[in-house]
Amino acid sequence: MIVSASYRTDIPAFYARWFLRRLEEGFALVRNPYSGQPYRVDLRPARVTGFVFWTRNFGPLLERLDRLRDFDRPFVVQFTVTSYPRAIEPAVIPVDRAVEQIHRLAREVHPLCPVWRYDPVLVTSLTPPEFHLANFGELAARLEGATNEAVISFAQIYAKSRRNLDASARRHGFTWEDPPDAVKHALAAELASIARRHGMRLTLCSQPQYLAAGVEEARCVDVRRLARISGEPLAAPVTSHGTSATMTPARTAASTATRSVTGAWRWPAIARMIHPRPRCCRLSNSRRKGSPYLNRETLSGRNGKGLPQEALSGTEYRRRETR
């Protein structure tokens, strides 16, 4: 089983201590976001093939790297670094720190551990296509030798995304657009050329319609990469239909499949550690110390607002991280 932790919430940045405590206990309880019904994720080493972390700040886990190593399972870090203007990304850690963390992961864990994500690619008056070409090139130069893959995806403008973008644009005085497919194809091809110059391949996550020359489909949950990090063959168990109550594909369009013995492509078993965003610690009403649920009553280290220190968000998170 591959544990995805977690593209819905930045667990390394906000919930590192909770995650490590769950490893010690050997399980976590996760609530289905639709039915509310809990299910148990077995986190014993014998049951875990590896981990895929999704983050913009691996610092809290990086400082506890020995405890991750003690678990003795390989892990990949999907690390997002975009270096967008603060009007668009007001609460991320400084780029210098993010770049240094990626280099540390490559040095101290494995050269294949960090995967750089430059996504979503958002086109605004502050970040036109020309900005992305220059910005991506600068970041690629700084990350050269620390990763062999850069993952992109173009912003998908849902109703909530549109509302948030409109509000931010009014507040900060910029405009935004969802460019035509031809622009996205051309931009992807140019980014692929830049990536190659810096020893990386460019992959595209869950948007095959934008594949261009030199761009490959991303395998965001890749058992082959985990196996190369581990140094031994690995196999994630597959379900007969690709999903079950406890193991589901991370993204239905993402290329995460493994080949079964029959030769048919099936989804590997992926346990999704689903948590609310840092300001909404509401998975459980349990007040038991050491609860397997993630909630504001179970973590030590307070910030004066009933939240764990690692659950700071927005301005508070930015203030702490930029000191």
Tell me, what's the pLDDT at 293? 56
What pTM does this model have?
0.78
Tell me, what's the pLDDT at 36? 85
Range 133-147 burial, b when 16+ CB lie within 10 A, else e: eebbbebbebbeebb
Tell me, what's the pLDDT at 6? 83
List, run by run, the mean pLDDT of 10-residue segments along the chain (323 residues).
87 95 93 84 93 97 95 96 95 97 98 98 98 98 98 95 94 96 97 98 95 94 94 67 29 37 34 41 36 42 39 39 40
Tell me, what's the pLDDT at 268? 41
Beta carbons within 8 Å of 212's beta carbon, 6+ residues apart: 185, 186, 188, 189, 192
Tell me, what's the pLDDT at 31? 81
Tell me, what's the pLDDT at 236? 67
Tell me, what's the pLDDT at 191? 98
Domain range summary for the chain, segments of one domain joined by +: 2-321
First to last CA, the chain: 39
Q: Which 8-state DSSP code applies to residue 290?
A: T
Alpha helices in 3-156 (DSSP H): 11-14, 16-25, 59-62, 65-71, 95-108, 129-143
